[in-house]
Structure 1
Amino acid sequence: MQFLPISLVCLGALLLMACQTQKAGLHEKPKPDAHILFEDSMADNWEENWFLDGKRATLEHREGGLAFITTTSVVDKRVDRLPFDAHHAILWTRQEFEGDIRITYTYTRLPGCSWQKLIYVQAQGIGENPYVEDIYAWRRLRDIASMDKYFKYMDLIALSLRDQIRCKRYPWMDMNGNDLDNEFKPRGENKGLPDGLPLDVVVEKREKSIMLRITDTVTGEPVVDHTWDLTDEQVNKNREPVYIDKGRIGMRQMGGHKMLLRNFKVERL
């Protein structure tokens, strides 16, 4: 019996191993981007990734995204607040996000909008029972999404899309009912958010700053581009925690607002 030289045996083994490795590689799934924490086209079942405060909102898939619609209240809020508040709603991520993050999505105002919308960043409960840090745990207390449930009992950063863009720190008051300074200034300029125009939204939230940029997808020009310093000593006075660092993202709409959301993503900065 003749034996092959050891060198040829070793070479054959190496070639066999390389072939097997190459075949295995064909079936490997690409590794996910470690920087992407959350991604939703908004074209599929929204309840997999989101939950809703408020019972009267309409959520329906159209044009490759999610239409989020609240009805207009005909009640004077100064006369009968409860039925007025019943028209508000918030769409929350089921997932929480910690640390410095970038939020991006495409936003289109649908015809017939009236009230503004807000972006809630890294929201948690204040930690006093029943308003525990996990806001999902006390969501039933927000079946009517009245504003006081949020500015009294949640820690978060809020961006308000109005004639001027406002950045506020919740809560607005402590547990003894004492008012807290809550607005980071100066306000941002708003050059216009017309109906029907797709807008690319970017929010970059760091411990001590937050940036909002909204860009016209047709012209590439920003209609909002502003960064707020979150270290204001007066706003941060008597707060614990001082800085917002962890929580869910919420899209708040007052009654009578209609928007289309597409391609929502959260990344680690």
Structure 2
Amino acid sequence: MLNAGLVFVLALFLQSVKSQDEKAFNMVNRSLYWKLKLNDPCTKNWEKNWFKDGLIAKVEQSDSGMNFIAGPKNRNDAHHGVLWSKESYKGDIKLEYYYTRTDSAVVNVNILYIQAQGIGTGPYDKDISKWNKLREVPEMGIYYNYMNPLHISLAAFPMVNEDPQNDYIRVRKYPISEGRKFSETEIPETAFKTGLFLPNVTYKITVIKTKTNLYFKIVGNKQSKLFSWKLKEGQSPEEGRIGLRHMFTRSARYKDFKIYTK
């Protein structure tokens, strides 16, 4: 067991790292070089800025925002859904939006895809809109084998789970290269049991991706938490679309979705 002195030193070290991350996030977040590229209230005409993978998933809009609802059948790939930005974004990118879980599920995952393109071979053109038909059933393997985005799992639960507190936040980088396993796409560290993303609670999310860092900040329900990951060479996408994925049974509402680049 760790003695009290070592625990104290470790706590100080972790606090110092957290403070440094906050300073770095605040500096890049407040940069005057960000240019607003999308400002979508998400309250009407969602098809102006987004298109959908999956024939069963649906979008319901109101003054409260854009409620994206995956199909109700668990373990049925046709019931996944993805919303994609119609525009593609290049370079450093910042996302700001309000997110509210509208499900009470304790299984399956929501995913934010950052700057997705196809791998550019066979039918998988870099412009993913050219192979929308291949994603009418949005089976996960199509995405992690044939696209190259960063992936953030949020409001995420294991596919077998009964504990409503057993959520996690995890980052991955696609695609799976030859000889690798899906688990090897993970960029450490995964955060477990975050206490975030409670049903029917609205959170403000800020995501910033640079060449070397990924930041994910969540504010709401009297909490503010920042998660960060160092990106190695090849892990920061250069250009692509933003995607919102809900696995079967999952739903959430989005509002005031902003995208900046610089």
Report the counterpart of residue 215 of structure 2 in structure 1. Answer: 211
**Which consecutive unaligned segments of at least 5 residues does structure 2 have?**
1-32, 157-166
Per-residue CA deviation, residues 88-121 of structure 1 (Å, 9 max, x unaligned), is 0000000000000100100001143343200000
Report the counterpart of residue 8 of structure 1 in structure 2. Answer: none
Between the aligned partners of 1:65 and 1:72, the Cα distance in structure 2 is 21
The residue type paired with residue 164 of structure 1 is Y
Larger Rg: 1
User: TM-score scaled to structure 2, two decimals?
Assistant: 0.77
**Where does 1:1-269 land on structure 2 (aligned, <5 Å)?**
35-74=35-74, 77=75, 84-114=76-106, 115-161=108-154, 162=156, 163-174=167-178, 178-179=180-181, 181-189=184-192, 190-216=194-220, 218-219=221-222, 221-222=223-224, 224-231=225-232, 243-269=236-262
- Judging changes above 3 Å, is the alpha-carbon distance between structure 1 residues 169 and 71 closer, same or farther for their aligned structure 2 residues? same
Between the aligned partners of 1:203 and 1:168, the Cα distance in structure 2 is 15
Kindly indicate whether the alpha-carbon contact (under 8 Å) linking 1:151 and 1:173 is maintained by their aligned counterparts in 2. Answer: no
Q: Percent identity?
A: 31
Aligned-residue offset at 1:209: 1.3
User: TM-score scaled to structure 1, two decimals?
Assistant: 0.75
Per-residue CA deviation, residues 72-99 of structure 1 (Å, 9 max, x unaligned), is 215xx4xxxxxx1000000000000000
Report the counterpart of residue 14 of structure 1 in structure 2. Answer: none
Kindly indicate whether the alpha-carbon contact (under 8 Å) linking 2:149 and 2:237 is maintained by their aligned counterparts in 1. Answer: yes
Aligned-residue offset at 1:186: 1.3
**Which consecutive unaligned segments of at least 5 residues does structure 1 have?**
1-32, 78-83
Between the aligned partners of 1:42 and 1:112, the Cα distance in structure 2 is 22
Between the aligned partners of 1:166 and 1:102, the Cα distance in structure 2 is 18
The residue type paired with residue 199 of structure 2 is D
Task: Give RMSD over aligned pairs.
Answer: 1.9
Aligned-residue offset at 1:242: 5.6
